[in-house]
């Protein structure tokens, strides 16, 4: 029989191993499908064979320039901003319209905690932000300044295991669908910002969510739980069990609008269970795990994508999500999947990116958008690291599209030091890059998150002087 001291030491050792394993997971490299080895030079069309894009995106060639009115709230009587603001040698370029919209967001965020409101920041990107990389740092800064807690948005079905902050499990009869992958769905799916949705087969299914014990207190504190769904064709019953607090909801069918079911839990919930029963499944768009006020920062990663897919989402669903979730700020971070595409002219990418941003601006004219440009990258040739010089051209294409829509652009390529940035970052100890020389290590992701935040904070400080409550 083991002595008590040995039992204690045994469990202490297991706990330490679990913590070390969690830290190790943050350093794992993710494979990114959809790469091209070559691309013909002087390409002028807007089609990209080989990338993870849909047929609609390939064939849609109409570009509409949208002129929008100034949407600054009437109560803000500050003088008009007429010039772009450039920070840190043009690493952040903030046009006048973005400045006004971002100033409005900052005002909302400052009062969100005291008013018991949640203002959302959506961080959408490719595999570079998977598993909460970079987003975690931005969330920490936003919530330290404005209040708030919890991991924000999670998908209840997580085959790629990118929900890094909570443990999600479910019955075996759930299916995950993507807006940007070919797969037929037995029920109509109207995609929103995540580009994903899930539903179950048969007549009974369940989802369980648990906090991860060794995560920070701020991530484990989410008393405000909301389930986003579109009702099925027939009625169904939802039984929720949150720390033994049982509740039943009956949802009627034949409604395609987005439903938000809100649940109040203890400050630090332990077990969250949803049990569905009905003849047809609803479409589950996601679950938000937040505090009752402050800022929530969501991680919406889309592996293999060169842009967010606003054009292939449902316009009304995007607007409903933004309104019901009180979305105040959007950050887009794409471009990694375009790096293996070599050409002297990235006009095709600028065209596609411009279409995405124009539609986003049309649908959500009062939400400021920040685009994070593609990172500096490198590759190994005969055992020698060689910089991908064309990364700068991709970044310039992104910047041109971004500024054409009066959105802000953070030049990550320049922030890393330019063309040789990835090589220099890889030589840091420990390295700031993973072995593929395109994705950041966990430490590199922290550096990038801090760089983005410092630029945004500099802008906030610049705008704060006239921001008198």
| Judgement on whether residues 170 and 62 belong to the same structural domain of the protein | no
Q: Give the model's confidence band at 353: pLDDT under 50 very low, under 70 low, under 90 confident, else very high.
A: very high
Give 91's contacts (C-beta < 8 A, 6+ positions apart): 410, 411, 414, 415, 451, 455
Last-in-domain residue among 292, 321, 346? 292
Percent of the residues in the chain that have a pLDDT greater than 90, as a whole number: 67
| Judgement on whether residues 345 and 212 belong to the same structural domain of the protein | no
| Judgement on whether residues 257 and 333 belong to the same structural domain of the protein | no
| Judgement on whether residues 407 and 301 belong to the same structural domain of the protein | yes
| Judgement on whether residues 183 and 288 belong to the same structural domain of the protein | yes
pLDDT tens, residue by residue, 58-97: 754 433 333 333 333 333 334 455 677 776 668 999 999 9
The answer to which of 170-184, 313-327, 440-454 has the lowest mean pLDDT is: 170-184
Q: Which helix (H) or strand (E) segment is 415 a member of? A: helix 412-415
| Residue 191 counted as domain residue | yes
Summary count for the chain: helices (H), strands (E)? 11, 20
| Residue 256 counted as domain residue | yes
Predicted local confidence at residue 68, as pLDDT: 33
| Residue 355 counted as domain residue | yes
| Judgement on whether residues 30 and 130 belong to the same structural domain of the protein | yes
Predicted local confidence at residue 182, as pLDDT: 77
What three-state secondary structure class fits 92?
Answer: strand
What three-state secondary structure class fits 168?
Answer: strand
Predicted local confidence at residue 189, as pLDDT: 86
DSSP 295-315: EEEEEEE-TT-SS--STTS-H
Last-in-domain residue among 292, 322, 338? 292
| Residue 140 counted as domain residue | yes
| Residue 199 counted as domain residue | yes
| Judgement on whether residues 308 and 439 belong to the same structural domain of the protein | yes
65 or 154, which is more confident? 154
| Judgement on whether residues 46 and 72 belong to the same structural domain of the protein | yes
| Judgement on whether residues 419 and 408 belong to the same structural domain of the protein | yes
Last-in-domain residue among 244, 260, 292? 292
Tell me which DSSP letter residue 438 carries. Answer: S
CA dist., res. 28 & res. 335, Å (int): 20
Q: Give the model's confidence band at 4: pLDDT under 50 very low, under 70 low, under 90 confident, else very high.
A: low
pLDDT tens, residue by residue, 397-414: 999 999 999 999 999 999
Task: List Cα–Cα distances, 158 to 28, 206, 346, 400, 436, in angstroms.
Answer: 17, 14, 34, 35, 24
Q: Helices 135-146 and 442-464 sit at what angle, rounded to 10 degrees? A: 40
Question: Which structural domain, as residue segments, surrounds residue 270?
Answer: 151-292
Phi, psi for residue 83 in degrees, rounded to 5: -125, 150
| Judgement on whether residues 315 and 415 belong to the same structural domain of the protein | yes
Predicted local confidence at residue 212, as pLDDT: 94
The whole model's pTM is what?
A: 0.85
| Residue 18 counted as domain residue | no
Q: Please determine, for residue 468, whether its predicted confidence score (pLDDT) is greater than 80.
A: no
What is the average pLDDT value for the chain, to the nearest integer?
84
359 or 253, which is more confident? 359
| Judgement on whether residues 166 and 178 belong to the same structural domain of the protein | yes
Pairing of strands 294-301, 118-125: parallel
CA dist., res. 420 & res. 378, Å (int): 8
| Residue 36 counted as domain residue | yes
Q: What is the CATH number of the domain that holds 432?
A: 3.40.50.1110
pLDDT tens, residue by residue, 226-272: 999 986 777 889 999 999 999 999 887 656 688 899 999 999 999 99
| Residue 301 counted as domain residue | yes
Predicted local confidence at residue 120, as pLDDT: 98
| Judgement on whether residues 319 and 359 belong to the same structural domain of the protein | yes
Query: What's the whole-number mean pLDDT along residues 18-22?
Result: 51
Q: What is the CATH number of the domain that holds 252?
A: 2.60.120.1360
Domain count, the chain: 2
Number of residues that make up the chain: 469
Q: Assess contact for 47 and 351: CB atoms under 8 A.
A: no
pLDDT tens, residue by residue, 279-294: 888 899 999 999 999 9
């Amino acid at each position: 029989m083991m002595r008590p001291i040995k039992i204690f030491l045994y469990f202490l050792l297991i706990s330490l191993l679990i913590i070390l394993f969690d830290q190790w997971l943050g350093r794992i490299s993710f494979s990114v499908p959809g790469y091209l080895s070559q691309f013909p030079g002087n390409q002028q069309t807007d089609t990209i064979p080989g990338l993870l894009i849909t047929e609609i995106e390939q064939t849609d060639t109409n570009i509409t320039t949208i002129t929008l009115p100034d949407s600054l709230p009437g109560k803000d009587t500050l003088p008009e901003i007429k010039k772009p603001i450039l920070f840190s040698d043009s690493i952040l370029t903030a046009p006048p319209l973005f400045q006004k919209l971002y100033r409005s967001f900052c005002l909302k965020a400052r009062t969100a905690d005291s008013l018991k409101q949640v203002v959302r920041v959506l961080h959408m990107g490719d595999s570079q932000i998977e598993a909460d990389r970079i987003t975690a740092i931005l969330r920490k800064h936003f919530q330290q300044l404005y209040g708030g807690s919890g991991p924000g948005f999670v998908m209840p079905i997580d085959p790629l295991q990118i929900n890094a902050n909570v443990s999600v499990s479910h019955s075996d009869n759930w299916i995950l669908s993507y807006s940007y992958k070919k797969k037929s769905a037995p029920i109509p799916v109207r995609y929103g910002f995540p580009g994903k949705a899930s539903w179950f087969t048969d007549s009974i299914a369940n989802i369980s969510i648990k906090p991860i014990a060794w995560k920070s207190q701020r991530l484990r504190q989410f008393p405000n739980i909301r389930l986003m769904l579109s009702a099925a064709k027939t009625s169904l019953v939802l039984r929720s069990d949150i720390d033994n607090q049982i509740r039943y909801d009956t949802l009627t069918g034949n409604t395609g609008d987005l439903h938000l079911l809100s649940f109040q839990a203890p400050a630090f919930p332990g077990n969250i269970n949803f049990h569905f029963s009905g003849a047809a499944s609803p479409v589950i768009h996601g679950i938000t795990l937040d505090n009752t006020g402050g800022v929530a920062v969501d991680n919406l990663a889309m592996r293999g994508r060169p842009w967010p897919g606003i054009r292939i989402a449902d316009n009304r669903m995007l607007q409903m999500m933004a309104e019901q979730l009180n979305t105040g700020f959007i950050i887009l971070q794409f471009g990694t999947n375009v790096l293996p595409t070599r050409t002297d002219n990235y006009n095709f990418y600028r065209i596609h990116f411009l279409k995405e941003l124009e539609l986003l601006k049309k649908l959500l004219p009062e939400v400021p958008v920040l685009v994070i440009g593609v990172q500096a990258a490198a590759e190994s040739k005969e055992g020698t690291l060689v910089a991908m010089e064309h990364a700068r051209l991709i970044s310039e294409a992104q910047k041109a599209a971004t500024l054409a829509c009066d959105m802000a652009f953070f030049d990550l390529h320049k922030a890393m030091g330019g063309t040789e940035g990835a090589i220099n970052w890889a030589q840091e100890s420990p390295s700031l890059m993973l072995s593929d020389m395109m994705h950041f290590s966990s430490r590199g992701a922290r550096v990038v998150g801090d760089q983005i935040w410092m630029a945004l904070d500099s802008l906030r400080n610049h705008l704060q002087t006239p921001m008198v409550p």
